[in-house]
Structure 1
């Protein structure tokens, strides 16, 4: 439900940042604190949604509480469920607007008809409810009431004013809105105040470089088109969507400039899978990692306007020799610097545009990818600060010890959040990002994470992600894909790999 714009002001669609949840025996009511008739009710018997009007009885609820948004609704086998935000934490700002980390959620059951379900339906409903409960503790959920965090700075600058005046759910890049499917019924009823934008990771720090104060933001957006956890989602599908595809934007702002640099990562984009068994490192469907990389390299020879650069991370950076990434940078530096970055001044004048994107990929696009992306992001930040006169051509952010430490911590914490969602553990090689070397504590931590990954690979999957993102729907009249083989069967067909992205393969 949109807040009306003030007279004479440009049209804006703000979202209510606090709501009341009223619980009655026959319904849940969600409404604005300040506008009592702005909201809707959900029937606890059948899940039907109705907008509030002056005749709605709101007296004597059994319980009243404050919530901070509605994630959406979902219909399972015989019941409807609403998911609401019960706590949040402000973690920084994006382009001047507050950003919140979603800390906890609650699932409201509207499923009294479950009493009349068959035994099998009750069993199925309980299983799906278990998956839905996983959403309550899902990591890496960020949102804003006042701006769309799915759009990077350069893309936002290209959109016309009319587009930016639309409600968030119409502005947003659908690839990065994880709960778009959950919002469909609410959008139809027009209470648009509840849309939630998705950020997989959001990190922010204040840096002082010489006498210049900078706000550096790191935001990663995970694509919803091929969700799932490590081992259960690998490679690409026939549409070219890859597992763990993430757009990372490094943004810096000061009084005079805003600048953005984009990197992307994703699983090796060919058709492959890894058979999950009790072995520590399950075998690939197309052979070992070297064979998979060779197949990818052969495919890349058929692509136009793409430079493919293989880099054997383990060989070059063994014994924690992080500095050997210079070998990769020396190879790509000319192309990398030509790609530039996006730079805009305080008056809105575009001074630079990013003309290309580096795509990193390996088996998981986690640990080695994060180390390498941090290295390239540092190089780009140096170029940007030199461009606006903060640094000379011979200076770099690494010369400022305390501020450099803050920068590396941003990337290490981002790596942990990405890894937690895809692999269920903290990132390996995090010490290389934080300190440029491996520590004893880091080796112990990596060992524990490896053990956890072994367990999660074999005994846990990402079905909850597929459920809430709408990759399959549940009904009484159709079997769930969860009762079938979880692996996709690839027909004998060539996959189109039309792309204009440079690819770096980290073997």
Structure 2
């Protein structure tokens, strides 16, 4: 049975009663019709009358229901990124929202929802392919049924638009109609080509060579849609075993593939789509997968406007079941898990390190521990291994590496100490290796499996994690090239200066993409990743990124978290109380809202008074008194903001965070018991009675898939 691929070209026709989507390259295929304003889906054979063509799109991203209306999100522009074995991969450049109501109604919350979604899609690195499953690693692809439609093969974790494709997927499965009144229609397999899976992450495809041997070097990072969010508003593990900032990174080498060259046009059909080998030589694919993810315990960092947020560990015992779900899934997908923990063993991070180790000790049966120290740190390595294999969780192997202590003084070369510790298990469990089989099925003959994964984390799974993952990627790449006969035993890929420069920059780009999607800025320490040295210019760039992160994490990430929750379906907009709820309204007491404005106005007056020219005969002292008064007001405002920083953080407004609610309540109670300020924020109430706090107690509706 031939594979079912998404349509590459879709024409959109519009009329007051429907939108119609059809593929001009498949004129005999049914037209997908979305009725207006209900959003009901149907397939229609032949031409539809009474509609006019409005545009041609690259694909349907999905359909989303907001407060007043449903919107079809279409991909209006896609940029070719390169070929993988002849299959073109694209990046989403622009999208458009098609409202189902002919005359859209306006509502403040609806407008805010739309702005959040448009802002998210504009900045998100989204990739797709019409003929290649980029959501799955090559090892998982090798065991997939090539006749299955592309969307059914997609890895659910990395099928980023899975929620907004729900209407199309339900229709494909035979369900139609709005929420609550679905009717069975029978399987609609002709809808398969309209469902296009999209991946969020990073992808670079480089046609290069090592010591004169041409090859394709590819790096793909896939970000999980489960528990996706921003840096301080998404931490740890949830009840379903999903951890924050989970990313799978796959490093790929393809040998003897001449079909990967060039950017323009679509991939051809037949043999070209499966990769055209150099005559007499096999197309070989070698790939190595690593993962990263937040420490799988219940923990949070609470923004207070201080540079370092307040850390909260909410019990290890209560998170054991969630951690077991997480690691059971990881072991099922990847085999043995080598957990590399780079969190500091001193200071505020120590409690996270200790919680992680306690969790591993609770999961692994009869753990045996070994602590190694040196003259730089009392705990260079901390290894936890099972004494005997009794349960599936004994496939977990924990290694702690004191990254900061070992590499301080810009001694980044000492990170190779960790590589020495990992070398034996990495070589033992290997990497994936496959060879293309002849014919047009796209099947691969598997010659070697990767039997384990290295799961790396630091506090944010960003900067230290990037350094270690790129180091491990370089090590395994050299092993691949030795096994291919391109390098001799003892040689390294880094011996080729041109390729080493490309390798460093690709991994640094990966670091920036992963960091930007979570923290809002590029990664720190990328000067080491790009050049192999820690430089003063890099340190200055890190300072700039750190300052930017501070402002974004306190004042910009709330709306970004709301956008993630809306797009991924963890918050469902309600249509109750339309026009009256004003979900995004600021419900803090007016006095607290006014403090930043009073502060800014006072500073402005002092600034103007200091630099405005005055006539020689003007009386100076009244102005100076006013300046001192405003300086005092500015100082008082700054002190108030600093002392009650939680009240000035831009928190998410859709899915309220329990620790944020508690922190805001405590801060409001503190203000209400202040004899100077209390009269301006209303009368004192008992805990839980303040109207000012009620806005923070509205919980968003959660979608359970």
Q: Structure 2 length normalisation: TM-score?
A: 0.63
| Cα distance between partner residues in 2 of 1:484 and 1:50 | 34
Instruction: Name the structure 2 match of 1:42.
Output: 34
Residue 173 of structure 1 deviates from its aligned partner by 1.0
Quick one: structure 1 residues 318 and 270, their matched pair in 2 at CA, closer, same or farther if it must change by over 3 Å? Answer: same
- Find 1:320's aligned residue among 403, 407, 410: 410
- Find 2:395's aligned residue among 305, 313, 316: 305
Instruction: Name the structure 1 match of 2:56.
Output: 66
Consecutive unaligned residues of structure 1, counting only runs of 5 or more, are 1-9, 491-507
1:54 maps onto 2:46 in alignment:
yes
Equivalences for 1:229-244 in 2 at 5 Å? Answer: 229-244=230-245
8 Å contact 1:263–1:373 — kept in the other structure? yes
Quick one: structure 1 residues 210 and 82, their matched pair in 2 at CA, closer, same or farther if it must change by over 3 Å? Answer: same
Quick one: structure 1 residues 41 and 383, their matched pair in 2 at CA, closer, same or farther if it must change by over 3 Å? Answer: same
Residue 469 of structure 1 deviates from its aligned partner by 1.4
- Find 1:173's aligned residue among 155, 166, 170: 155
| Cα distance between partner residues in 2 of 1:261 and 1:307 | 19
Residue 41 of structure 1 deviates from its aligned partner by 3.3
Instruction: Name the structure 2 match of 1:278.
Output: 305
| Cα distance between partner residues in 1 of 2:414 and 2:222 | 29
- Larger deviation, residues 452-461 vs 257-266: 452-461
Residue 20 of structure 1 deviates from its aligned partner by 1.8
Give me the CA root mean square deviation. Answer: 2.4
8 Å contact 2:302–2:660 — kept in the other structure? no
More helix by share: 2
8 Å contact 1:88–1:101 — kept in the other structure? yes
| Cα distance between partner residues in 2 of 1:188 and 1:484 | 26
Q: Map Cα deviations across residues 50-76 of structure 1 (whole Å, 9 max, x no partner).
A: 4344362255x3x62221001000111
1:84 maps onto 2:66 in alignment:
no
Equivalences for 1:222-261 in 2 at 5 Å? Answer: 222-255=223-256, 256=282, 257-261=284-288
Quick one: structure 1 residues 423 and 483, their matched pair in 2 at CA, closer, same or farther if it must change by over 3 Å? Answer: closer
8 Å contact 1:316–1:325 — kept in the other structure? yes
Residue 204 of structure 1 deviates from its aligned partner by 1.6
Q: Map Cα deviations across residues 259-318 of structure 1 (whole Å, 9 max, x no partner).
A: 010100001111101112211121211392111101111221232232211112222222
8 Å contact 1:51–1:189 — kept in the other structure? no
8 Å contact 1:267–1:364 — kept in the other structure? yes
Aligned length: 471
Q: Map Cα deviations across residues 222-243 of structure 1 (whole Å, 9 max, x no partner).
A: 1111111111101111222100
| Cα distance between partner residues in 1 of 2:655 and 2:197 | 31
- Larger deviation, residues 16-25 vs 165-174: 16-25
Residue 484 of structure 1 deviates from its aligned partner by 5.6
Instruction: Name the structure 1 match of 2:117.
Output: 132
| Cα distance between partner residues in 1 of 2:575 and 2:431 | 51
8 Å contact 1:149–1:199 — kept in the other structure? no
8 Å contact 2:302–2:659 — kept in the other structure? no
Instruction: Name the structure 2 match of 1:20.
Output: 11
Q: Structure 1 length normalisation: TM-score?
A: 0.87
Quick one: structure 1 residues 296 and 125, their matched pair in 2 at CA, closer, same or farther if it must change by over 3 Å? Answer: same
Instruction: Name the structure 2 match of 1:375.
Output: 471
8 Å contact 2:243–2:293 — kept in the other structure? yes
Q: Map Cα deviations across residues 68-123 of structure 1 (whole Å, 9 max, x no partner).
A: 001000111121011111111111223431111111111122245864x8xxxx23
Residue 15 of structure 1 deviates from its aligned partner by 1.7
8 Å contact 2:124–2:200 — kept in the other structure? no
Relative contact order: is structure 1 or structure 2 higher (C-alpha 8 Å, sep ≥ 6)? 1
Give SS of 2:73's match: strand
- Larger deviation, residues 417-426 vs 131-140: 131-140
Quick one: structure 1 residues 107 and 440, their matched pair in 2 at CA, closer, same or farther if it must change by over 3 Å? Answer: farther
Residue 46 of structure 1 deviates from its aligned partner by 3.5
| Cα distance between partner residues in 1 of 2:544 and 2:462 | 16
1:188 maps onto 2:188 in alignment:
no
| Cα distance between partner residues in 1 of 2:569 and 2:654 | 16
- Find 1:404's aligned residue among 472, 489, 500: 500
- Larger deviation, residues 286-295 vs 167-176: 286-295
1:444 maps onto 2:540 in alignment:
yes
- Larger deviation, residues 272-281 vs 345-354: 345-354
8 Å contact 2:16–2:102 — kept in the other structure? no
Q: Map Cα deviations across residues 152-183 of structure 1 (whole Å, 9 max, x no partner).
A: 11112223xxx321111111111110111111
Consecutive unaligned residues of structure 2, counting only runs of 5 or more, are 173-190, 257-281, 314-346, 365-393, 438-443, 584-651, 662-705
Instruction: Name the structure 2 match of 1:389.
Output: 485
| Cα distance between partner residues in 2 of 1:433 and 1:58 | 58
Instruction: Name the structure 2 match of 1:465.
Output: 564
| Cα distance between partner residues in 2 of 1:142 and 1:30 | 22
Larger radius of gyration: 2
Instruction: Name the structure 1 match of 2:262.
Output: none
